[in-house]
Amino acid sequence: MTRYVAFLRGVNLGKRTVRSADLKQAFTGMGFADARTLIASGNVVFSAGETDEEKLTHTIEAGLEKAFGFDIGTVLRSHAELEAMVASAPFAKIPEGADAKLYVGLLRERVGGKIELPIGIPGNFDVLSVSERDIFAIAWHMPNGRYGEGLIGIEKHLPKGTLITMRNWNTILKAAA
């Protein structure tokens, strides 16, 4: 069995409400072992015998649509991939105590090589690096008190139809632990 984390896009936005208990039940009902939600209902840790990520993603998305009545985009990472991501220390150059938040844009498709840097808005956010399926960005604390409002703009730099979901670095650390 392989341990995975499903990062779900657009859960609990507007009328698209999904309770953690219902999400766990949906994954269990699809036959996945050890399903549990992590931090919020948009992250599900589970085990599966299937290792073909495309098939696994299709199974999950079909099961979630059946359970909740709407499409829920899914980005998968194996526990091993998350451990490797953390070990790569993508934010090592950010000074301790920087007034910023760290984010990872998790891409379903392997398009990292097609994304040209630099990407950013001065004083708002900067993309630090891009791997094959992940975008590492820093969101700066802005005068209005918010962090990196322009991060949503990263999507316009991706090939059309690329599914991305953003997570705080702390979520990634907890998922990899």
Distance CA 19, CA 118 (A): 38
Instruction: Report the CATH number at residue 24.
Output: 3.30.70.1280
Are 172 and 93 in the same domain? yes
Whether residue 169 contacts residue 103, with contact meaning beta carbons closer than 8 Å, is answered with yes
The CA-based dihedral angle spanning residues 91, 97, 100, 103, taken in that order and rounded to the nearest 10 degrees: 30
Q: What is the pLDDT of residue 13?
A: 79
Can the peptide bond before residue 118 be classed as cis, meaning omega within 30 degrees of 0?
yes
Handedness of CA 58, 59, 63, 66 (dihedral sign): positive
Residue the block writes with tokens 């949906």: 26
Q: What is the pLDDT along the chain (177 residues), one digit of tens a residue?
A: 999 999 999 888 777 889 999 999 999 999 999 999 998 779 999 999 988 999 999 999 999 999 999 999 999 999 999 999 999 999 999 998 999 999 999 999 999 788 889 999 999 999 999 999 999 999 999 999 999 999 989 999 999 999 999 999 999 999 999
Q: In the beta sheet, which residues pair with residue 38?
A: 40
Task: State which of 60, 81, 102 marks the end of a domain.
Answer: 81
List pLDDT tens digits, range 27-68: 999 999 999 999 877 999 999 998 899 999 999 999 999 999
Are 96 and 171 in the same domain? yes
Write the CB contacts of 21 (distance below 8 Å, at least 6 apart in sequence).
Answer: none
Task: State which of 39, 66, 81 marks the end of a domain.
Answer: 81
List pLDDT tens digits, range 26-36: 999 999 999 99
Domain count across the chain: 2
Are 93 and 165 in the same domain? yes
Residue numbers of the domain that contains 133: 88-176
